[in-house]
Structure 1
Amino acid sequence: MPVSLPPLSAIRAFEAASRHLSFTKAGEELGMTQAAISYQIRLLEDRLGYAVFIRKTRRIELTENGRQLSGRVIEAFATLRTAFEEVGEKNAGQLVVSSNTTFAVNWLANRLVHFQMQNPDIAVRILPYGPGASPEFDSADIVVSACKRPPKDWISNEIVKADFSPMLSPALAASIGGVTSPEDILRLPMVDPQDPWWGIWFRAAGFGDVDLSGRPNSRMGSQALEANRAIAGQGVAILTPYFCKTALETGQLQQPFDLTARIEEESWYLSYPPTKRNNRKVRLFRDWVFAELKRDGMPVPAPAPETAA
């Protein structure tokens, strides 16, 4: 049966006092009074059943038992300090971001180099999650989730609203002489016709319920993948304009109608746990994302207060 350890506070006081051979200096190191250190040592000795220090006038000495314990305890605490330092240094230099595939591919991939140039001491590790998967809320420093709210106790910022509109390649539009009315979309193949966004957009366009059930289903589950299919001319996709900005500007995609629709509760969220509120790398990444959004003319949320959670 394992021997139970004395209280950690008493072991900690003994470790410091045995290094300094002084209750006063041990107290200064640990932020305790000389009397508090002496009390912890008494607790330790009572628990052990033998003395670890000989008290002399204005000084202390280790007993034989105290000397045997001292070397092992000092070594154990040194090992603990090294372990915490190594893990701390690793965590301080690496930022883990769990991101929805669309945000990772259509936003982060094109911009991350700028963050890394500004913060060369931080290595960013992206954990993209795709269709059917969930964000890495348990293991990431920051999560960018799509249409999936973060845990209630997390610090959360809505960064992009999930509005949507049909988009297609110029070549596909030209194949029917151009797309000038919503009816024209129904003359073309569609990427993911079972996406509920289609029905919402057609109703917003004044068409009521449009039956798309007979069309071949091609569920991609990711706007990044759906946009690539649309660029390749394989169909009309229902996409968020902000994430297709480059493709629209370069003419790879067309957005035939200004009309966009949205589901009020669906957005992209940047979030992190309260324990990381004051974490330097988290704050730097969050503020950089906000600055990029502002540069794009997007509404920018106010950062959460940096006081301790």
Structure 2
Amino acid sequence: MRKSHSVSAPPLSLPPLTALRAFEAAIRHGRMTRAAEELGVTHGAISRQVRLLEENFGAQLIARTRSGLVPTEAGAALAERLGRGFREIEAGVAALRDDAGGVLDVSCLGTFTLRWLIPRLGRFTATHSGLEVRLSQSDAPCDFSRGRYDVAIRVTDHELPAGTHVTPLFTERFGPVLSPALAERLALRSPADLARAPRLWARTRPNAWADWCARSGCTALEGGAPYEHFYFMLEAASAGLGVALAPEPHVADDLAASRLIAPFDFLPSGLSYVALRREDAPKKARAFCYWIGKEAAG
């Protein structure tokens, strides 16, 4: 009786994984420098890996222009498939690591991170000791297909991506805040008295004062000192340099500690803060969204 012999599949003939990873990151970012930052290597290393890949395929994959990297037709097709493949690999690894802790990447608005999230984060890590929460700053629209994060905290000033689970945090309210010492010197009695005060505003919300005046019925207030970031503006307000318009969550702890006061309370801005995750997110992301939702509810 003739013995049957199993036929093994031929080994896969793939280019080096490091070259594929470098190429995918370069196309995704549109810049080799940004790909190098993500992968923790030099710009030259990314360039060499891309050249190696092009030599391996015998085809040009990237055209270099003044505005950045532009994939050729073959390069775009390869990058799309690689992106899907790497995301599948990351999802598989995340699923295996989920029960053992690992890293939770949270993308968050900068000032919200500094003034609300970080002061409360210890309460989450205390009950999830095997989990490292890694924070990154961004106010760009959430895109889980490109962003390397598990949870995104955003303001609803843009359309939220489909297939995303939304955890409501706050309906944003905003209003003028200032130091108690400055408030005493100004003897504020009505919003109209703010015309006597130095007004502070952040470049990220240049129309904040006009919006608040329209909602409060106050005469339009213009001018004032601009700041590049909300955090700088709020520190200036705490130091008595003027009156700032601030979202209530950004100053909640300052109000509780009497570093700032809100003489005319807060008004709805029409925006909301939300925590976003994929519908099929790992347990660590679901746990974080559940926690932050409860924390925001007080």
TM-score bracket, shorter-length normalisation: 0.5 to 0.7
Per-residue CA deviation, residues 245-287 of structure 1 (Å, 9 max, x unaligned), is 21111110011113x22332x11111112231xx210111011
Per-residue CA deviation, residues 220-253 of structure 1 (Å, 9 max, x unaligned), is 343x332212101121011122331211111100
Paired residue for 2:253? 246
The answer to whether the aligner puts 1:190 opposite 2:195 as a matched pair is: no
CA contact (8 A) 1:147 1:267 kept: yes
TM, length-normalised to structure 1: 0.61
Paired residue for 2:268? 262
Q: Secondary structure at the match of 1:195?
A: coil
> Once the two structures are aligned, what percentage of the paired residues are identical?
24
* Structure 2: distance between partners of 1:151 and 1:70: 41
Q: Alpha-carbon deviation of 1:158?
A: 2.6
Say which of 135, 140, 144 aligns to 1:126: 135
Give the 3 Å change call, closer, same or farther, for CA 152–86 of structure 1 in structure 2. closer
Paired residue for 2:39? none
What do you get for the CA RMSD once the two structures are aligned?
A: 2.9
CA contact (8 A) 1:200 1:261 kept: no
TM, length-normalised to structure 2: 0.63
* Structure 2: distance between partners of 1:55 and 1:111: 71
Bigger Cα Rg: 1
CA contact (8 A) 1:144 1:269 kept: yes
Give the 3 Å change call, closer, same or farther, for CA 71–86 of structure 1 in structure 2. farther
CA contact (8 A) 1:95 1:281 kept: yes
The answer to whether the aligner puts 1:142 opposite 2:139 as a matched pair is: no
Q: Secondary structure at the match of 2:137?
A: strand
CA contact (8 A) 1:98 1:136 kept: no
The amino acid across from 1:157 in the alignment is T
5+ residue gaps, structure 2, are 13-88
CA contact (8 A) 2:174 2:269 kept: no
Paired residue for 1:201? 212
Paired residue for 1:18? none
* Structure 1: distance between partners of 2:224 and 2:167: 37
Say which of 174, 196, 200 aligns to 1:164: 174
The answer to whether the aligner puts 1:62 opposite 2:5 as a matched pair is: yes
The answer to whether the aligner puts 1:285 opposite 2:228 as a matched pair is: no
5+ residue gaps, structure 1, are 1-53, 74-82, 297-309
Would you say how many aligned residue pairs link Structure 1 and Structure 2? 214
* Structure 1: distance between partners of 2:260 and 2:172: 19
CA contact (8 A) 2:167 2:289 kept: no
Per-residue CA deviation, residues 98-126 of structure 1 (Å, 9 max, x unaligned), is 00112211121111111111011211111
Give the 3 Å change call, closer, same or farther, for CA 263–233 of structure 1 in structure 2. same
Q: Secondary structure at the match of 2:200?
A: coil
Q: Secondary structure at the match of 2:292?
A: helix
Q: Alpha-carbon deviation of 1:72?
A: 6.5
Say which of 90, 100, 112 aligns to 1:103: 112
* Structure 2: distance between partners of 1:275 and 1:167: 41
